Amino acid sequence: MAARRVLKAVLVDLSGTLHIEDSAVPGSQEALKRLRNAPVAIRFVTNTTKESKRDLLERLKTLEFDIAEDEIFTSLTAARNLLEQKQVRPLLLVDDNALQDFKGIPTNDPNAVVVGLAPEHFNYQMMNKAFRLILDGAPLIAIHKARYYKRKDGLALGPGPFVTGLEYATDTKATVVGKPETTFFLEALSGTGCKPEETVMIGDDCRDDVGGAQHAGMLGILVKTGKYRAADEDKINPAPYLTCESFPQAVDHILQHLL
């Protein structure tokens, strides 16, 4: 193992790591309490595009997690920042719930396309609409490119496949604002005063959580909950710093070995 780093910040994925839909991963609330006793900044980072920050907070509070709104950084926030920067009017292929996070951004006569996780919009008609805008020059912004996610009834396609399809159709590249983009991880740390080298990321998605974080200079801990499938840890290079059962074990490791 490399020389001991100084750990100052912990990034924690939400869906699949702290909870799966409406159930907490067993032992996680208590593990989070123990982590808060350590001298580390904590941020909750998520690519979830179906819920606004307020929705996320509600659910986490219901599951008895002690979290504040300003500790949450989502890819929706990252997308909104980009739209404001570029001053464009988006066709928003995002879940209705997520629209809240785009309030105030004009959407008439769109000249940009934003794609999030929005199964109800991934029908042929809407995809054609997005396709024609992009072919005419509208930038394609992807909140993230997750291949699939875990629902109660099994695995389900994420926005990644649809973004890839639109890129192919139009021969353009999407700007991806969520995990595993490096800018996402760096922006998540803003306000903590910590550097990537001083940070550990805990998540269930080997490529997007762990791979992305490590590529940004952080350590990555892969948990075997949520969308994790056997041997996922063999699919990235370098391999995860650590693979363990679930969030409580990840916290144990941090408290015992990284502080």
Q: Is 110 in contact with 120 (CB distance < 8 Å)?
A: no
Report which of 114, 61, 62, 75 is spatially closest to residue 91, judged by C-alpha positions: 114
- The alpha-helical segments, DSSP class H, found in 63-211 are 75-86, 124-135, 160-170, 182-189
Q: Which of 79, 88, 91, 166 binds other proteins (CB under 8 A)?
A: 166
CB of 132 to other proteins, least distance (A): 6
Contact segment (CB under 8 A) with other proteins among 53-61, 86-94, 130-138, 209-217 equals: 130-138
What mask of x and - would describe binding to other proteins in positions 59 to 88, judged by CB under 8 A? ------------------------------
Q: Which two tokens stand for residue 216?
A: 């940004």
> Is residue 191 a contact residue for other proteins (CB under 8 A)?
no
d(C-alpha 128, C-alpha 165), whole Å: 11
Residue in 59, 148, 233, 253 binding other proteins, rule: CB under 8 A: 148
101, 218, 244, 181: CA torsion to nearest 10: 40
Closer residue to other proteins (CB): 70 or 136:
136
Q: Which helix (H) or strand (E) holds 61?
A: helix 53-62
- Minimum Å gap between C-beta 205 and other proteins is 14
Q: Which residues contact other proteins by CB under 8 A?
A: 119-120, 122-125, 127-128, 131-132, 135, 147-148, 154-158, 160-162, 164-166, 168-171
